[in-house]
Amino acid sequence: MKVPTFRVPGLRRKKAPDLPGVAGVARLDRRTKRLTKRLRPGEIAIIDHVDVDRVSAEALVACGCAAVVNVATSISGRYPNLGPQIILDAGVPLVDDVTPEIFERVREGDELRVCDGLLYLGDEIVGKGTVQTEESVAAATAEAKAGLSVQLEAFAANTMEYLRRERELLIDGVGVPEIRTRLEGRHVLIVVRGYHYKEDLVTLRSYIREYRPVLIGVDGGADALIEAGYLPDMVVGDFDSISDRALTCGAELVVHAYRDGRAPGLERVTALGREAVIFPATGTSEDVAMLLADDKGASLIVAVGTHATLVEFLDKGRAGMASTFLTRLRVGSKLVDAKGVSRLYRSRISTSSLFLLVATALVTIAVVLSYSPAGEIWLAGLRDLWNGFVFWLFGLFS
Protein backbone atom coordinates (compact mmCIF):
# COMPACT_ATOMS: atom_id res chain seq x y z
CA MET A 1 0.00 0.00 0.00
CA LYS A 2 1.42 3.33 -1.03
CA VAL A 3 1.76 5.80 1.83
CA PRO A 4 0.66 9.29 0.76
CA THR A 5 3.08 12.15 1.21
CA PHE A 6 2.15 15.63 2.27
CA ARG A 7 3.90 18.98 1.69
CA VAL A 8 3.67 21.54 4.44
CA PRO A 9 3.40 24.97 2.82
CA GLY A 10 5.72 27.68 4.01
CA LEU A 11 8.53 25.41 5.24
CA ARG A 12 10.44 25.30 1.98
CA ARG A 13 13.33 27.79 2.01
CA LYS A 14 13.73 30.02 -0.96
CA LYS A 15 17.08 30.02 -2.68
CA ALA A 16 18.91 33.29 -2.20
CA PRO A 17 19.37 35.20 -5.45
CA ASP A 18 22.85 35.31 -6.91
CA LEU A 19 24.33 38.70 -6.16
CA PRO A 20 27.01 40.36 -8.31
CA GLY A 21 30.64 40.61 -7.22
CA VAL A 22 32.78 38.28 -5.14
CA ALA A 23 31.64 36.91 -1.78
CA GLY A 24 33.62 35.12 0.92
CA VAL A 25 34.71 35.01 4.54
CA ALA A 26 36.76 38.05 5.58
CA ARG A 27 40.29 37.67 6.96
CA LEU A 28 41.93 40.84 8.31
CA ASP A 29 45.47 41.72 9.28
CA ARG A 30 47.59 44.83 8.84
CA ARG A 31 50.63 42.59 8.23
CA THR A 32 50.26 40.56 5.05
CA LYS A 33 52.70 37.81 6.02
CA ARG A 34 50.71 37.11 9.19
CA LEU A 35 47.45 37.03 7.25
CA THR A 36 48.66 34.48 4.71
CA LYS A 37 49.21 31.95 7.51
CA ARG A 38 45.46 31.65 8.14
CA LEU A 39 44.01 32.72 4.79
CA ARG A 40 42.08 29.92 3.06
CA PRO A 41 40.88 29.45 -0.56
CA GLY A 42 37.79 31.48 -1.41
CA GLU A 43 38.26 33.98 1.42
CA ILE A 44 38.66 37.75 1.11
CA ALA A 45 41.98 39.20 2.30
CA ILE A 46 41.83 42.65 3.93
CA ILE A 47 45.29 44.18 4.32
CA ASP A 48 47.04 47.50 4.95
CA HIS A 49 50.08 47.27 2.68
CA VAL A 50 51.58 50.18 0.76
CA ASP A 51 53.32 49.03 -2.45
CA VAL A 52 52.48 45.32 -2.35
CA ASP A 53 55.71 43.47 -3.13
CA ARG A 54 56.17 40.37 -5.21
CA VAL A 55 56.61 37.92 -2.34
CA SER A 56 53.45 39.11 -0.56
CA ALA A 57 51.44 39.00 -3.79
CA GLU A 58 52.60 35.48 -4.59
CA ALA A 59 51.71 34.36 -1.06
CA LEU A 60 48.19 35.83 -1.37
CA VAL A 61 47.66 34.17 -4.74
CA ALA A 62 49.00 30.83 -3.45
CA CYS A 63 46.40 30.94 -0.65
CA GLY A 64 43.65 31.05 -3.30
CA CYS A 65 41.94 34.16 -1.95
CA ALA A 66 38.80 35.37 -3.74
CA ALA A 67 39.74 39.07 -3.56
CA VAL A 68 42.30 41.42 -2.04
CA VAL A 69 41.05 44.55 -0.28
CA ASN A 70 43.82 47.01 0.58
CA VAL A 71 43.34 49.97 2.92
CA ALA A 72 46.56 51.46 1.51
CA THR A 73 47.68 52.00 -2.11
CA SER A 74 48.97 48.82 -3.71
CA ILE A 75 51.15 50.80 -6.10
CA SER A 76 51.94 54.31 -4.90
CA GLY A 77 54.25 55.28 -7.76
CA ARG A 78 57.31 55.36 -5.50
CA TYR A 79 58.87 52.58 -7.57
CA PRO A 80 57.54 49.96 -10.04
CA ASN A 81 56.58 47.26 -7.54
CA LEU A 82 55.51 43.92 -8.97
CA GLY A 83 52.78 42.80 -6.57
CA PRO A 84 49.59 44.33 -8.06
CA GLN A 85 50.26 42.92 -11.52
CA ILE A 86 50.83 39.43 -10.06
CA ILE A 87 47.47 39.60 -8.25
CA LEU A 88 45.60 40.72 -11.36
CA ASP A 89 47.35 38.15 -13.58
CA ALA A 90 46.00 35.46 -11.25
CA GLY A 91 42.46 36.72 -11.83
CA VAL A 92 42.06 38.02 -8.27
CA PRO A 93 40.13 41.32 -7.91
CA LEU A 94 42.13 44.08 -6.21
CA VAL A 95 40.49 47.04 -4.46
CA ASP A 96 42.69 49.88 -3.17
CA ASP A 97 42.35 52.90 -0.87
CA VAL A 98 39.49 51.34 1.06
CA THR A 99 38.00 53.22 4.00
CA PRO A 100 40.39 52.62 6.95
CA GLU A 101 37.40 52.04 9.27
CA ILE A 102 36.96 48.66 7.57
CA PHE A 103 39.17 47.16 10.28
CA GLU A 104 36.63 48.30 12.92
CA ARG A 105 33.44 47.62 10.95
CA VAL A 106 34.33 44.12 9.75
CA ARG A 107 35.26 41.27 12.07
CA GLU A 108 37.29 38.17 11.30
CA GLY A 109 34.96 35.54 9.83
CA ASP A 110 32.23 37.90 8.64
CA GLU A 111 30.64 37.07 5.29
CA LEU A 112 31.66 39.91 2.96
CA ARG A 113 30.81 40.78 -0.64
CA VAL A 114 32.96 42.96 -2.93
CA CYS A 115 31.37 44.56 -5.98
CA ASP A 116 32.52 47.57 -8.04
CA GLY A 117 34.76 48.83 -5.25
CA LEU A 118 32.02 48.60 -2.62
CA LEU A 119 32.18 46.25 0.36
CA TYR A 120 28.89 44.83 1.59
CA LEU A 121 28.24 43.22 4.96
CA GLY A 122 24.78 41.82 4.32
CA ASP A 123 22.91 44.71 2.71
CA GLU A 124 25.03 47.37 4.41
CA ILE A 125 27.92 49.13 2.66
CA VAL A 126 30.84 49.07 5.11
CA GLY A 127 33.62 50.30 2.86
CA LYS A 128 34.47 51.83 -0.48
CA GLY A 129 37.63 51.76 -2.58
CA THR A 130 39.13 51.96 -6.05
CA VAL A 131 39.14 48.91 -8.28
CA GLN A 132 42.55 48.30 -9.83
CA THR A 133 42.61 47.15 -13.46
CA GLU A 134 45.29 46.16 -15.95
CA GLU A 135 45.19 49.68 -17.37
CA SER A 136 45.46 51.48 -14.02
CA VAL A 137 48.35 49.29 -12.85
CA ALA A 138 50.18 49.72 -16.17
CA ALA A 139 49.79 53.51 -15.97
CA ALA A 140 51.01 53.63 -12.34
CA THR A 141 53.96 51.39 -13.21
CA ALA A 142 54.99 53.63 -16.10
CA GLU A 143 54.79 56.67 -13.84
CA ALA A 144 56.86 54.92 -11.17
CA LYS A 145 59.56 54.01 -13.67
CA ALA A 146 59.84 57.66 -14.67
CA GLY A 147 60.57 58.67 -11.07
CA LEU A 148 62.87 55.77 -10.27
CA SER A 149 65.95 58.00 -10.11
CA VAL A 150 64.67 59.55 -6.87
CA GLN A 151 64.47 56.09 -5.27
CA LEU A 152 67.97 55.24 -6.46
CA GLU A 153 69.32 58.39 -4.81
CA ALA A 154 67.54 57.49 -1.58
CA PHE A 155 68.88 53.95 -1.78
CA ALA A 156 72.43 55.26 -2.20
CA ALA A 157 72.00 57.60 0.77
CA ASN A 158 70.70 54.75 2.95
CA THR A 159 73.66 52.62 1.87
CA MET A 160 76.16 55.26 3.00
CA GLU A 161 74.32 55.75 6.30
CA TYR A 162 74.40 52.02 7.01
CA LEU A 163 78.08 51.85 6.14
CA ARG A 164 78.78 54.69 8.57
CA ARG A 165 76.92 53.01 11.43
CA GLU A 166 78.00 49.41 10.85
CA ARG A 167 81.51 49.76 9.41
CA GLU A 168 83.09 47.83 12.32
CA LEU A 169 80.69 44.92 11.84
CA LEU A 170 81.08 44.88 8.06
CA ILE A 171 84.84 45.32 7.94
CA ASP A 172 86.13 43.62 11.11
CA GLY A 173 83.20 41.49 12.25
CA VAL A 174 82.95 43.31 15.58
CA GLY A 175 79.80 42.25 17.44
CA VAL A 176 79.30 38.82 15.89
CA PRO A 177 78.31 36.48 18.77
CA GLU A 178 79.71 33.03 19.50
CA ILE A 179 77.61 30.06 18.41
CA ARG A 180 77.84 26.32 19.04
CA THR A 181 77.09 25.21 15.45
CA ARG A 182 80.35 24.53 13.61
CA LEU A 183 80.52 26.39 10.29
CA GLU A 184 84.27 26.57 9.64
CA GLY A 185 85.26 24.99 6.34
CA ARG A 186 81.69 23.85 5.59
CA HIS A 187 79.07 24.80 3.02
CA VAL A 188 76.17 26.83 4.43
CA LEU A 189 72.70 26.98 2.87
CA ILE A 190 70.71 30.08 3.92
CA VAL A 191 66.97 29.90 3.19
CA VAL A 192 64.74 32.97 3.15
CA ARG A 193 61.05 32.64 2.31
CA GLY A 194 61.43 34.91 -0.70
CA TYR A 195 61.62 34.66 -4.47
CA HIS A 196 61.13 31.10 -5.83
CA TYR A 197 62.38 29.49 -2.63
CA LYS A 198 60.31 26.33 -3.16
CA GLU A 199 61.62 25.71 -6.69
CA ASP A 200 65.20 26.40 -5.60
CA LEU A 201 65.00 23.90 -2.74
CA VAL A 202 63.74 21.23 -5.14
CA THR A 203 66.60 21.82 -7.58
CA LEU A 204 69.15 21.66 -4.74
CA ARG A 205 68.12 18.22 -3.42
CA SER A 206 71.11 16.44 -4.96
CA TYR A 207 73.49 19.14 -3.73
CA ILE A 208 72.12 18.95 -0.17
CA ARG A 209 72.26 15.14 -0.17
CA GLU A 210 75.87 15.02 -1.35
CA TYR A 211 77.51 17.98 0.42
CA ARG A 212 75.45 18.03 3.64
CA PRO A 213 75.61 21.84 4.10
CA VAL A 214 74.71 23.55 7.37
CA LEU A 215 71.04 24.55 6.96
CA ILE A 216 70.14 28.03 8.24
CA GLY A 217 66.53 29.21 8.10
CA VAL A 218 65.82 32.94 8.28
CA ASP A 219 62.48 33.35 10.10
CA GLY A 220 59.91 31.66 7.82
CA GLY A 221 62.77 30.07 5.90
CA ALA A 222 63.02 27.54 8.74
CA ASP A 223 59.42 26.47 8.05
CA ALA A 224 60.30 26.25 4.36
CA LEU A 225 63.12 23.82 5.16
CA ILE A 226 60.82 21.68 7.32
CA GLU A 227 58.14 21.64 4.61
CA ALA A 228 60.80 20.44 2.14
CA GLY A 229 61.72 17.56 4.45
CA TYR A 230 64.81 18.99 6.16
CA LEU A 231 65.61 20.00 9.73
CA PRO A 232 67.43 23.35 10.05
CA ASP A 233 70.67 23.42 12.03
CA MET A 234 70.19 27.08 12.92
CA VAL A 235 67.32 29.58 12.85
CA VAL A 236 68.05 33.31 12.60
CA GLY A 237 65.56 36.18 12.82
CA ASP A 238 63.26 38.30 14.92
CA PHE A 239 60.81 35.36 14.95
CA ASP A 240 57.69 37.31 13.96
CA SER A 241 56.84 35.08 10.98
CA ILE A 242 57.88 31.60 12.10
CA SER A 243 55.95 28.69 13.63
CA ASP A 244 56.45 27.25 17.10
CA ARG A 245 57.28 23.96 15.40
CA ALA A 246 60.34 25.51 13.74
CA LEU A 247 61.45 27.20 16.96
CA THR A 248 61.27 23.92 18.88
CA CYS A 249 62.79 21.63 16.21
CA GLY A 250 66.15 21.51 18.03
CA ALA A 251 68.01 24.04 15.88
CA GLU A 252 70.27 26.64 17.47
CA LEU A 253 68.39 29.96 17.73
CA VAL A 254 69.93 33.35 16.97
CA VAL A 255 67.71 36.33 17.77
CA HIS A 256 68.20 39.41 15.60
CA ALA A 257 68.11 42.37 18.00
CA TYR A 258 68.15 46.13 17.57
CA ARG A 259 71.38 48.03 18.14
CA ASP A 260 70.12 49.28 21.50
CA GLY A 261 69.82 45.67 22.69
CA ARG A 262 66.05 45.26 22.37
CA ALA A 263 65.16 41.79 21.09
CA PRO A 264 61.38 41.41 20.60
CA GLY A 265 61.75 37.78 19.51
CA LEU A 266 63.52 36.76 22.72
CA GLU A 267 60.31 36.84 24.75
CA ARG A 268 58.69 34.27 22.46
CA VAL A 269 61.75 32.02 22.62
CA THR A 270 61.79 32.17 26.42
CA ALA A 271 58.07 31.35 26.57
CA LEU A 272 58.77 28.18 24.59
CA GLY A 273 61.49 27.17 27.04
CA ARG A 274 64.33 27.62 24.54
CA GLU A 275 67.63 29.47 24.78
CA ALA A 276 68.93 31.81 22.11
CA VAL A 277 72.01 33.77 21.09
CA ILE A 278 71.44 37.52 20.61
CA PHE A 279 72.93 39.29 17.57
CA PRO A 280 72.43 43.10 17.64
CA ALA A 281 72.60 44.58 14.13
CA THR A 282 70.98 47.36 12.12
CA GLY A 283 70.33 45.37 8.94
CA THR A 284 67.86 42.63 8.13
CA SER A 285 67.81 39.07 9.47
CA GLU A 286 68.97 37.95 6.03
CA ASP A 287 72.11 40.08 6.50
CA VAL A 288 72.68 38.71 10.00
CA ALA A 289 72.65 35.13 8.72
CA MET A 290 75.16 35.90 5.95
CA LEU A 291 77.52 37.85 8.21
CA LEU A 292 77.38 35.08 10.81
CA ALA A 293 78.22 32.39 8.26
CA ASP A 294 81.07 34.44 6.81
CA ASP A 295 82.58 35.36 10.19
CA LYS A 296 82.51 31.75 11.42
CA GLY A 297 84.52 30.50 8.45
CA ALA A 298 81.99 28.99 6.03
CA SER A 299 83.74 27.97 2.81
CA LEU A 300 80.66 28.58 0.64
CA ILE A 301 77.34 30.36 1.27
CA VAL A 302 74.42 29.28 -0.91
CA ALA A 303 71.43 31.66 -0.77
CA VAL A 304 67.82 30.56 -1.38
CA GLY A 305 65.04 33.13 -1.72
CA THR A 306 67.28 36.08 -0.83
CA HIS A 307 67.34 39.48 -2.53
CA ALA A 308 69.96 39.70 -5.24
CA THR A 309 69.07 42.52 -7.64
CA LEU A 310 68.34 46.22 -7.31
CA VAL A 311 64.73 45.67 -8.37
CA GLU A 312 64.30 43.10 -5.60
CA PHE A 313 65.84 45.48 -3.04
CA LEU A 314 63.38 48.21 -4.02
CA ASP A 315 60.49 45.74 -4.21
CA LYS A 316 61.06 44.86 -0.58
CA GLY A 317 59.97 48.41 0.14
CA ARG A 318 62.34 49.00 3.06
CA ALA A 319 65.11 51.53 3.45
CA GLY A 320 67.01 48.89 5.40
CA MET A 321 67.54 46.85 2.25
CA ALA A 322 70.62 48.98 1.61
CA SER A 323 72.28 46.85 4.29
CA THR A 324 71.70 43.72 2.19
CA PHE A 325 73.49 45.35 -0.72
CA LEU A 326 76.57 46.02 1.43
CA THR A 327 76.39 42.61 3.10
CA ARG A 328 76.50 40.94 -0.30
CA LEU A 329 79.61 42.97 -1.11
CA ARG A 330 81.14 41.86 2.19
CA VAL A 331 80.60 38.11 1.63
CA GLY A 332 80.71 38.22 -2.15
CA SER A 333 83.69 35.89 -2.57
CA LYS A 334 81.76 33.06 -0.84
CA LEU A 335 78.19 33.84 -1.86
CA VAL A 336 76.43 31.86 -4.59
CA ASP A 337 72.77 32.14 -5.55
CA ALA A 338 70.80 28.88 -5.49
CA LYS A 339 70.03 29.11 -9.20
CA GLY A 340 73.74 29.30 -9.96
CA VAL A 341 74.42 26.19 -7.89
CA SER A 342 71.68 24.21 -9.63
CA ARG A 343 73.06 25.18 -13.03
CA LEU A 344 76.72 24.56 -12.26
CA TYR A 345 76.43 21.60 -9.90
CA ARG A 346 76.37 18.08 -11.25
CA SER A 347 76.48 14.91 -9.22
CA ARG A 348 80.05 13.66 -8.98
CA ILE A 349 78.83 10.17 -10.01
CA SER A 350 77.48 10.28 -13.57
CA THR A 351 74.72 7.95 -14.80
CA SER A 352 77.06 6.19 -17.27
CA SER A 353 79.62 5.55 -14.52
CA LEU A 354 76.91 4.09 -12.30
CA PHE A 355 75.75 1.68 -15.05
CA LEU A 356 79.35 0.67 -15.75
CA LEU A 357 79.88 -0.05 -12.05
CA VAL A 358 76.76 -2.24 -11.88
CA ALA A 359 77.72 -4.12 -15.07
CA THR A 360 81.25 -4.75 -13.77
CA ALA A 361 79.88 -6.08 -10.49
CA LEU A 362 77.53 -8.48 -12.30
CA VAL A 363 80.34 -9.79 -14.52
CA THR A 364 82.57 -10.29 -11.47
CA ILE A 365 79.84 -12.25 -9.70
CA ALA A 366 79.30 -14.44 -12.78
CA VAL A 367 83.02 -15.24 -13.08
CA VAL A 368 83.27 -16.13 -9.38
CA LEU A 369 80.25 -18.42 -9.61
CA SER A 370 81.64 -20.14 -12.71
CA TYR A 371 85.05 -21.09 -11.25
CA SER A 372 84.39 -21.74 -7.55
CA PRO A 373 82.97 -24.98 -6.02
CA ALA A 374 80.33 -23.00 -4.20
CA GLY A 375 79.47 -21.27 -7.44
CA GLU A 376 78.87 -24.59 -9.18
CA ILE A 377 76.39 -25.53 -6.45
CA TRP A 378 74.61 -22.17 -6.86
CA LEU A 379 74.49 -22.55 -10.64
CA ALA A 380 73.11 -26.10 -10.33
CA GLY A 381 70.41 -24.81 -8.00
CA LEU A 382 69.53 -21.99 -10.40
CA ARG A 383 69.31 -24.49 -13.29
CA ASP A 384 66.94 -26.66 -11.26
CA LEU A 385 64.78 -23.63 -10.47
CA TRP A 386 64.68 -22.63 -14.12
CA ASN A 387 63.81 -26.14 -15.29
CA GLY A 388 61.07 -26.36 -12.67
CA PHE A 389 59.61 -23.06 -13.83
CA VAL A 390 59.64 -24.13 -17.50
CA PHE A 391 58.02 -27.49 -16.60
CA TRP A 392 55.28 -25.69 -14.64
CA LEU A 393 54.69 -23.21 -17.47
CA PHE A 394 54.30 -25.94 -20.11
CA GLY A 395 52.03 -27.86 -17.76
CA LEU A 396 49.54 -25.00 -17.88
CA PHE A 397 49.00 -25.48 -21.61
CA SER A 398 49.17 -29.31 -21.85
Give residue-wise pLDDT tens across range 330-369. 888 898 887 666 555 555 555 666 677 777 777 776 666 6
Percent of the chain with pLDDT over 90: 45
Provide CB contacts within 8 A for 360, sequence distance 6+. Answer: none
Alpha helix positions (H), the chain: 32-35, 54-62, 83-89, 102-105, 134-146, 148-165, 167-172, 197-203, 205-211, 220-227, 244-247, 264-271, 285-295, 310-315, 321-330, 338-344, 351-371, 373-397
Contact 175, 168 (CB under 8 A): yes
Provide CB contacts within 8 A for 255, sequence distance 6+. Answer: 237, 238, 239, 263, 265, 266, 269, 276, 277, 278, 279
Q: Where does the pLDDT of residue 12 fall: very low under 50, low under 70, confident under 90, or very high at 90 and above?
A: very low
- Give the count of beta carbons closer than 10 Å to the beta carbon of residue 296: 18
Backbone φ and ψ for 111, nearest 5 degrees, come out as -85, 120
Q: Is it the case that residue 1 has pLDDT exceeding 50? A: no
**pLDDT higher at 73 or 195:** 73
Cα gap 53→33, rounded to integer Å: 11
Least confident of 4-13, 230-239, 316-325: 4-13
Q: Where does the pLDDT of residue 313 fall: very low under 50, low under 70, confident under 90, or very high at 90 and above?
A: low
Contact 110, 121 (CB under 8 A): yes
Q: Give the pLDDT score at 30.
A: 92
Backbone φ and ψ for 234, nearest 5 degrees, come out as -150, 145
Q: Is it the case that residue 379 has pLDDT exceeding 60? A: yes
Q: Is it the case that residue 261 has pLDDT exceeding 60? A: yes
Q: Give the pLDDT score at 292.
A: 93
Contact 200, 218 (CB under 8 A): no
Q: Where does the pLDDT of residue 7 fall: very low under 50, low under 70, confident under 90, or very high at 90 and above?
A: very low
Q: Give the pLDDT score at 240.
A: 84
Contact 274, 281 (CB under 8 A): no
Note the pTM of the prediction, 2 decimals.
0.63
Provide CB contacts within 8 A for 322, sequence distance 6+. Answer: 155, 158, 159, 161, 162, 313
Q: Is it the case that residue 397 has pLDDT exceeding 90? A: no
Cα gap 88→131, rounded to integer Å: 11
In the chain, CATH 3.20.19.10 covers: 22-143
| CATH level 3 topology of 22-143 | Aconitase; domain 4 (3.20.19)
Mean pLDDT for 163-175 is 74
Cα gap 133→360, rounded to integer Å: 65
Q: Where does the pLDDT of residue 13 fall: very low under 50, low under 70, confident under 90, or very high at 90 and above?
A: very low
278-291: buried (b, 16+ CB within 10 Å) or exposed (e) per residue? ebbbebbbbbbbbb
Q: Is it the case that residue 226 has pLDDT exceeding 50? A: yes
Cα gap 295→176, rounded to integer Å: 7
Q: What is the mean pLDDT of the chain?
A: 83
